[in-house]
Chains A and B, each alone.
Chain A
Amino acid sequence: MITLNAVRKVFQTRNGPVQAVDDISLRIEQGEIFGIIGYSGAGKSTLIRMLNMLERPSTGTVSVAGQDLAALSNKALRKARQEISMIFQHFNLLWSRTVAENISFPLEIAGVSKEERKKRVAELITLVGLEGRGDSYPSQLSGGQKQRVGIARALANNPKVLLCDEATSALDPKTTDSILNLLVEINKKLGLTIVLITHEMNVIRKICHRVAVMENGKVVEQGPVLELFKRPKQLITKDFLKQVVEPEETTDMIKQLAKAKPESKIIQLKFIGGHAEEPIITSVIRSFDVSVNILQGNVSQTQNGPYGTLFIQLQGEYSEIERAVAFMHEQQVEVEVMAYAD
């Protein structure tokens, strides 16, 4: 659906040229939810803006639905943009228009007749769950409702691609969930390809099928979300994963325990997909002379299947611990011995 080929973007600034996007090639398939995660300044905003030519690439090609966007005339590009819509972190609604008029805006741009617009706006208001709010002004809505208007507006012209620019970063966790659910719903219902950028791993975990990690203008790692959870390669990816699986208080607690019992070993087990059900802990306790102290565990759902982590502490003879760890390595789980020096 979307192909980026060796795309670069250089900004000329007073302090010399800055490489915002540095040689990125990506393929995004029809109907998938593709996430791009990175810290601010990684170049993800520039990257997503090149998918509708709000930023033109310095070199390289961007093609969406088989069209090379940079080669289009102004008129053809405006037409193409009606099929690549976008939602924004700060919603970017027109305050001078009501909810219904905001949703009608892209239809006016596309030259849709008045009756048709009215009908389509009513459908969209129902689709995003804003019945009865059509005549409100954006200033009378909550953040979540504003983003719903943004989504309805983006869907008005039946786009093929929806670009989400930090669409949930200004929302509280509960509202974020409801907006993410809405995105998954429209992805399934309309078969829409969604590309989103974010700095929150939770957003990636909850709705993305595949993810690319960006750092300093480059994609440093990409793959199916579950694959990345299982075997993160880059340091920055592990950093992002910590947001989801390893909250700060866990890290603190583990440090404390490791200090108190230096002879014990703390181990993180990762259960991916169907293997989450295997009774590995029971086997360890039965087969080896070690005691197992369960510290913390969680299971979360991704679009590719469940994903669980379990932190345990093994106590006993050093050689027995080593054998137990070796046994766990042979099972269908990822094992990581946690090292917390200091």
Chain B
Amino acid sequence: MLTNLFPHVEWDAILDATYETLYMSAVTILATFILGLILGLVLFLTGKGNMWQNRFFNGIIAAVINVFRSIPFIILIILLLPFTNAIVGDIIGADAALPALIIGAAPFYARMVEIGLREVDRGVIEAARSMGAGAGQIIFKVLIPESLPALISGITVTGIAIIGYTAMAGIVGAGGLGNMAYLQGFQRDQTDVTFVATVIILVIVFVIQIIGDTVTRRLDKR
């Protein structure tokens, strides 16, 4: 029956493409979480009235984040081609998409991290300082745990944007469902392939959203 409904769909290829999309998304989300968290923390801590207040450094980080956040992703991929070639040794395939995906997504998430950290009650940070907590203890025992719901809902939103980016990356040769929808669906005029690829992407997005919402709700004891 499936063959009748979707005559052009090769299910083995779909499975491979889904795997590639999941692979690219998972690696990017993980790397974005770590990189964005570090960038966001530095951005927050060097900001006005915080532990490492430093206007110069803060200005530079903010500028870098804003620049990379503002470049349309499809252009960022092209701009980064030489860089990708240098570190991955290839400009085609799932691995080749990773540098652009991470560099595109991490600054976006860094801003969300900063916003989340700003929501942490200053009084609680002051209380930790009054107990003799050092910078590391304040970061790992106060800032991160107290902003965790915001950090998780932020990575959920970013993760969904990343799925969208992987589809775009597919158009310039990254593989995955986006690539399949474009090459086999659009260019060969096989609408059923595009349709199946879209449905799978939607399912992935919904699953990420549900997981993110559930975890956020469980963590929030306020």
Contact = CB atoms under 8 A, between A and B. Distances in A.
B131 A90 contact: no
A54 B126 contact: yes
Interface string A108-149: 111000000000000000000000000001110000000000
Given A108-B141, A139-B221, A82 B132 contact: yes
A155 B210 CA distance: 42
Contact of B133 (A84, A109, A137, A139): A109
B185 to A, nearest CB: 46
B22 interface: no
Interface stretch (B53-61, B87-95, B142-150, B167-175): B142-150
Contacts of B130: 52, 54, 81, 84-86, 163
**Chain A CB within 10 Å — which of B127, B134, B142, B219 has the most?**
B127
A54 B123 contact: no
Contacts of B146: 94-96
Contacts of A153: 131
B123 A96 contact: no
A86 B131 CA distance: 8
Given A96-B146, A96-B148, A139-B222, A109 B131 contact: yes
A109 B221 CA distance: 23
A242 interface: no
A138 B145 CA distance: 15
B211 interface: no
Interface in A125-184: 137-139, 153, 157, 163
Given A94-B124, A109-B137, A81 B221 contact: no
A199 B25 CA distance: 57
A96 B126 contact: no
Contacts of A283: none
A27 interface: no
Contacts of A110: 132
Contacts of B142: 94
A163 B219 CA distance: 32
A106 interface: yes
Residue in B128, B131, B148 with the greatest tally of chain A CB atoms within 10 Å? B131
Interface string B108-128: 000000000000010110111
B129 interface: yes
A81 B124 contact: no
The range of chain B's interface size is 20 to 34
A78 B124 contact: no
Counting contact residues on chain A (CB < 8 A from B), the size range is: 20 to 34
A181 B18 CA distance: 66
A97 B146 CA distance: 9
Contacts of A157: 131
Interface string A79-92: 11110111010101
Nearest to A157: B131
Given A95-B221, A96-B145, A139-B221, A106 B131 contact: yes
Contacts of A96: 145-146, 148, 219, 221
A271 interface: no
A254 B127 CA distance: 47
A105 interface: yes
B145 A88 contact: no
A93 interface: yes
A241 B134 CA distance: 42
A78 B133 contact: yes
Contact of B222 (A74, A77, A79, A95): A95
Contact of A109 (B126, B132, B219): B132
Given A79-B132, A94-B146, A95-B146, 14 more contacts: A52-B130, A54-B126, A54-B130, A77-B132, A82-B131, A85-B131, A86-B127, A92-B126, A93-B124, A95-B221, A95-B222, A97-B145, A109-B132, A157-B131
The 8 A-B pairs of least Cβ separation, nearest first, read A81-B132, A78-B132, A92-B127, A92-B123, A106-B131, A86-B130, A137-B221, A96-B145
Interface of B: 121, 123-124, 126-134, 137, 141-142, 145-146, 148, 219, 221-222
15 contacts: A54-B126, A54-B129, A81-B131, A81-B132, A84-B130, A90-B123, A92-B123, A92-B127, A95-B146, A106-B132, A109-B128, A109-B131, A109-B141, A139-B222, A153-B131
